[in-house]
Structure 1
Amino acid sequence: MQNNQPPVQPDDDDEIDLRQLVMTLWAQKALIMGVGVLGAALGVGASLLSTKYVTHGTFLTPSISAGTYKRYQSMLVSGPRLQQYIQVTGQANTPEGQLLLALAESPKSMSEAISPEFAFTDRDAKTFGVKVNNDDPGAMVGLRIQFSHQEPSGGQPVALLSEYARDTIIRVDMEANLLDQCTKLGTKEQELRNERIDNEFSISQEERRAANLREIIARNPEARTFDSRQIVSVEKGTERFLSPAAQLVAAEIQIADMRLAEVRRERERIASALKSDYYCQAQQSLQQATTGRTFISELEKIQAAVFEAQNGTSDIVEQTRNELDVERATWTNTYLQNMRFVAPPEGSEIKERKPGLALGLVLGGLLGGMLGVFGALVRAWWRGDGKTGV
């Protein structure tokens, strides 16, 4: 009988021959090793090229809440303002000035160079001798100032950035404070003058009233005495029912009180006039000063000029001078002495690489080896050199 069974069709060979694959890779081992070594070299090169010398430090500032920091931030991270500060202070031709001029051209770099520092542990406070404001945990304790460059800078750009930050904070605080004091005290002086005029008129009216009462008593001798048993409700407009003698005493007491109030008002007017002149001149000086540090040092000269023509023996003049001395000493402590680095930035420069040499070597070698294997397989397939099963 004839066999009619169909011939068996050979199955498609979809299996990977690992031996053939290994033989192919072994044959291309020189290529794989070469690409791997090249990748490792590129990884090391990338690590070396990413080397930066980083200097940073925490610069203490007056207590600033997180909500009010925006007032300072817009000026602190302003590139044009940093460039202007460097030009005005004559730092444009110095090495650190050149570095900061380049930094000012990048808004992102400016934001990274100056940032707020809100967290400060009790241990750090004891270590660096810093007071922590427990009443306002969200208050800013300082600024984190950081600068990185491909070459060592010795920390000088960070020191210059801290002076720029000091100048910015002084100007933001003083521009608002001095303008407010100049305007408010100038208005107050005028108000006190008007009150003095009104008070002098009231005194003249009371003196006329007292004179009339004396004439009434002179015409009526019996009016000199009054019945102590008389009961009168002394309300506004009813004092006329008192005896003329009692009204005369009340008028003289009223005149004495108004004269005492006039003395106090005149003292206040003199103090307001002196302070108004001082603050207004200080505001003008702030617009011309090269730096905030220079402005603070010039306040003593401004005060001396304001008090030069004043009577040195007057107690109100001396009191006003002492108040301004205390205020200036407070500003000096706040902006010149207390604003400082918790640790000097000089000598704190460190070398950073991203990635490091070891990591760059490993990653580059692995990536190069993978590319070498892929290249070897593609080369074998292209040449038809052996059956790789792919």
Structure 2
Amino acid sequence: MPIEKNDMKEGILETHDALVAEDKDSKELNLTDLAVMLWRARGLVAGITILAMVLTLTTAILTGKYKSEGFFQFGGAIPIMPVADKLAKEPPPGIALSNYKRYEAVYNSAEKYSDFYVQNKLAGDVSAESLLQKINSREGISNLIEPIFPFTKLDAKKLGMESNKDESNNVIGLRINYVATTPDMARSAVLLLGRYVMDAIIYQNYSDMLRFKDIEISTKITKLDNDIIEQNEKLEELVRKNRELKSIISRYPVSTEQGARQVVSVTEETARYLSPTAQLTTNEVEVAETKEKLIKIRRDKTQTVILGEYFGKTKDMLNGTKSGESVLRGLEPIKIATFKDKDLDNEVIKEVFNRITIENQTASSLYLQKSRFIAGPDLPQHRTTSLLIALLTGLALGFILAVGVVGGRLWWKNNSLKLQK
């Protein structure tokens, strides 16, 4: 007997409704079963959660880092100005930005740190070796050192300093940080970084200065030689003129009383006269002035020759070391060696000795004493990652993993027969 279309549609709808109801009942049943199974498997859930917490906490402890930070201050104007070149107005403290960019390029160099590492015999020092690996890595150490300025652009705007062209905003210090596996290592690395940066700056300063000192001093000595020759020629000319004037006066004694009759210069409107005696007096004054100039030039040459000897020895020392601190500490022995055969009772020589002494003491004070850490580096007490956060993270991950395991077992139990069919 044929089945009517309406009956077929009604049968299909009834079957669909029954399947939807069955699926709904199945879902409700699965959630209930999951809750029951979680309770029944609470030991497994607790075990998985505790295991995850232990693993997370252990990982945090083993891979935890400590961050140390310090503020390194520049104690004055860098580079230091020679005593002879100082003006009345002292330069502002710190490093001009243009100079700092040069120093930054130097101390960011892996080759420079390698020289510092070898020169100071740092092999075996854990912090030094860690820094060696860091500077040889792709990121380098640029992110560990931050320049500090007296004021930011916002500070300048608040203080109304936009139009003040004379205001200096030199780099007055560095904020140095380092992250390591132990607190002592982090602190030691920051200390070593501060020492290394200052060493690189000292070496660069003396390298720049001594690179041109030798040729400058040689040029100055040559110029002084020419000045001496020129003044000697002038002196000889004045002496000859002096003899001639004395001869004229001796031959014409009456001319000394005729000052108004000796022509000096004649113009369309007037004429000037000067007696031979007055000319002789003027000539003798010029002779005295020329002799005085010669004394000053010879004095300058004597001092310049001594400075050339001193800077020649410092240049040789610079070529034999890569450490700025070693160069700075070696200046005093070189000074002593330079003046050991000199007469220090001679004021000309003593002045050079004192000038070098002042410059060396000023440089030592600025670079090795005033430039230092004024804040930190601190010994960190806490890890960069909190153990409590790691513990809570492990708790959440462990519980989610446990629910996943129990839920997977429930799904397999409900669907294994269907999958077999």
Same topology, TM > 0.5: yes
Match of 2:10 among 7, 11, 14: 7
Partner of 1:187: 219
Partner residue, 1:131: none
Percent identity of equivalent pairs? 25
The answer to whether the aligner puts 1:218 opposite 2:250 as a matched pair is yes
Per-residue CA distance 1:217-265 (angstroms, 9 max, x = gap): 3333332233359896699xx9996443333322222222111111111
- TM-score normalised to structure 1 length: 0.79
Which of the residues 265, 281, 286 maps onto 2:318? 286
State the partner residue of 2:95. 64
The answer to which of 359-368 and 97-106 deviates more is 97-106
The residue that corresponds to 2:380 in the other structure is: 350
Which residue of 1 is the match for residue 284 of structure 2?
252
Higher relative contact order (CA 8 A, sep 6+): 1
When residues 244 and 157 of structure 1 are mapped into structure 2, their CA distance, relative to the original with a 3 A threshold, is same
| Change beyond 3 A, Cα 1:364–1:119 | farther
Give the stretch that moved more between structures: 47-56 or 167-176: 47-56
If the length of structure 2 is used for normalisation, what is the TM-score?
A: 0.73
Local SS of the residue matching 1:309: coil
CA contact (8 A) 1:116 1:142 kept: yes
Contact 1:52 1:351 in 2 (8 A): no
Aligned length: 369
- Aligned-partner Cα distance in 1 for 2:287–2:208: 42
Q: Which runs of 5+ in 2 are unaligned?
A: 76-93, 153-165, 417-421
| 1:275 lines up with 2:296 in the alignment | no
Q: Structure 2 matches for 1:1-390, cutoff 5 A?
A: 7=10, 9=13, 10=16, 13=20, 19-20=28-29, 22-29=31-38, 30=41, 35-62=48-75, 63-108=94-139, 110-118=141-149, 136-150=168-182, 152-153=184-185, 155-228=187-260, 242-289=274-321, 291-343=323-375, 345=377, 348-373=378-403, 376-377=406-407, 380-385=410-415
Taking structure 1 as reference, are residues 354 and 261 closer, same or farther at Cα in structure 2, changes over 3 Å only? closer
**Matches of 2:203 and 2:6 in 1, distance apart?**
105
Structure 2 CA distance for aligned equivalents of residues 200 and 227 of structure 1: 31
Deviation readout 1:22-79 (Å, 9 max, x if unpaired): 3143144237655544443343233223312443322333422333222122222333
8 Å CA contact retained: 2:48, 2:399 = yes
Whether the 8 Å contact between 1:56 and 1:158 is mirrored in structure 2 is: yes
Q: Which amino acid aligns with 1:93?
A: G
Cα distance, 1:169 vs structure 2: 1.8
**Amino acid paired to 1:194:** N
CA shift, 1:196, in A, is 0.6
Q: Is the 8 A contact 1:60 1:342 kept in 2?
A: yes
* Distance across 2 between alignment mates of 1:355 and 1:297: 43
- Residue-by-residue CA offset, 1:357-381 (whole Å, 9 max, x unaligned): 2111222332343454455555544
Q: Is the 8 A contact 2:314 2:334 kept in 1?
A: yes
Tell me the C-alpha RMSD between the 2 structures. Answer: 3.7
- Rounded Cα–Cα distance in structure 1 between residues aligned with 2:57 and 2:67: 20
